[in-house]
Structure 1
Amino acid sequence: MKPRAGQFLAGTVDGTTAIVVRAPDEDITVTCAGAAMVDPKAKASAPAGTADPDQLGGSQLGKRYADDALGIELLVTKPGASAIAVNGSPLPLKNAKPLPASD
């Protein structure tokens, strides 16, 4: 799948949903609990799968998950009990930028 900025992605195993903030120009596989995430607005319904017990790290509401090497960033709009992964590796939580000193 080739995600695009602004696209919604939904997990088929749990209720996790996310918005693509930044996307690479290449095809990638975005998964949640080991099952591929799908566009909830697509006409075809995706079959629900079972959660991979190794990928139950959870996702947090309003947090951004990003991989700068791949060039992808996702914003979680509905949290779930499963972790989000790209091409099989978990997507790390993006750290906030430090504020400048106010001396």
Structure 2
Amino acid sequence: MKLRVGQTLKSVVDATSVVVIKSPGGDAAVTCGGHEMTEQPGEPVPAADGDDGPGLMLGKRYTVEGTEIELLCSHGGRYAVAVDGVVVEQKSAKPLPASD
């Protein structure tokens, strides 16, 4: 699926929902619980085996090392989210400058 900035993706296995903050403009497969996330999910489906794991936390930004993709969690869930098969990691905050 071609990702666009501002696009909302929803999981078909749980309540997870993310907004695309940065995208390289190419095609990428964003999955949750082993199933591809969509803009308009249909009927719920069971998650693939072994994909229960670190779900996303509301309001946190997530990225994949080595890519320009950044996702903002707008609704948390319990299943792992991955981009092209690589599980996303929570983005760390930038350190504030020291004030002397």
TM-score, normalised to structure 1, is: 0.88
4+ long deviations beyond 4 Å: none
User: In the alignment, does 2:35 pair up with 1:52?
Assistant: no
| Alignment check: 8 A CA contact 2:7 2:19 kept | yes
Identity %: 42
Unaligned runs of 5+ residues in structure 1 are none
- Unpaired runs of 5+ residues, structure 2, are none
Contact 2:64 2:86 in 1 (8 A): no
With normalisation by structure 2, the TM-score equals: 0.90
Show CA shifts across 1:5-25 (max 9, x none): 000000000000010000122
Shift of 1:3: 0.8
- 1:31 alignment partner, SS class: strand
Quote the residue 1:19 is aligned against: 19
Q: Does 1:75 align with 2:72?
A: yes
RMSD: 1.4
User: What does residue 98 of structure 2 align with?
Assistant: 101
Q: Measure how far apart 1:60 and its partner are.
A: 0.3
Deviation at residue 49 of structure 1 after TM alignment = 2.3
**Length, aligned pairs only:** 99
